[in-house]
Amino acid sequence: MKHRKSGVKLNRTSSHRNAMFRNMVTSLFKHDRITTTDKKAKELRRVADRMITLAKRGDLHAKRQALSFIREKDVVYRLFDEAPTRFEDINGGYTRIVKIGRRAGDAAPISVIELVASEKRLQKDKKKKSKEKSGEKPASKAKTAAQSETKSAPAADTGQTPPISGE
């Protein structure tokens, strides 16, 4: 009987399965989405949600627990920096699984697992990007305006009219 036994074996030894999920969760947090089989994605969701919960907690013990599972320090530090703000409005369900079809070689069902961002966070990021883009453009326009003033000054001294830019 399978009472009180959670998790899927995936026809692997426990050490292989643990190593595989450690690699997959590291890649998921590094790239924000990965493509894998349906069963692996559903099992990976459990691990990823646990790591995000640790990151939201944010204390030293939680960071050490995450470092013991996730393979790269940079990924853990980025996760602990972004997760409290990115997932502040969400209490679970930090990942989304989208089925995309079947694999060409063996017809295994394939899914994309990705991190979900809160709506407020996405709107804040869009506003920041638009401000950054608008902030860069006036600086470049100011340079061109300053350059055109220097070009038009000698033309005014000679009595000629300055050329119109754009023609």
Q: What is the pLDDT of residues 23-43, one digit of tens each?
A: 999 999 999 999 999 999 999
**Residue 34 host element (H or E):** strand 33-37
In terms of Cβ atoms closer than 10 Å to its own Cβ (0-12, 13-18, 19+), residue 82 is middle
Please compute the mean of the pLDDT values over residues 115-126 and round it to a whole number.
Answer: 72
Whether this model's pTM surpasses 0.75: no
Rounded (10°) angle between helices 60-69 and 73-86: 130
Please compute the mean of the pLDDT values over residues 63-78 and round it to a whole number.
Answer: 96
Report residue 82's pLDDT band, with 50, 70 and 90 as the boundaries.
very high
Say if residue 160's pLDDT is above 70: no
Please compute the mean of the pLDDT values over residues 54-72 and round it to a whole number.
Answer: 96
Say if residue 72's pLDDT is above 90: yes
14-117 belongs to CATH 1.20.810.10: no
Q: What is the pLDDT of residues 121-140, one digit of tens each?
A: 667 777 777 778 776 555 54
**Residue 46 host element (H or E):** helix 38-57
Per-position b or e across 114-146, b if 16+ CB within 10 A of its CB: bbbbeeebeeeeeeeeeeeeeeeeeeeeeeeee
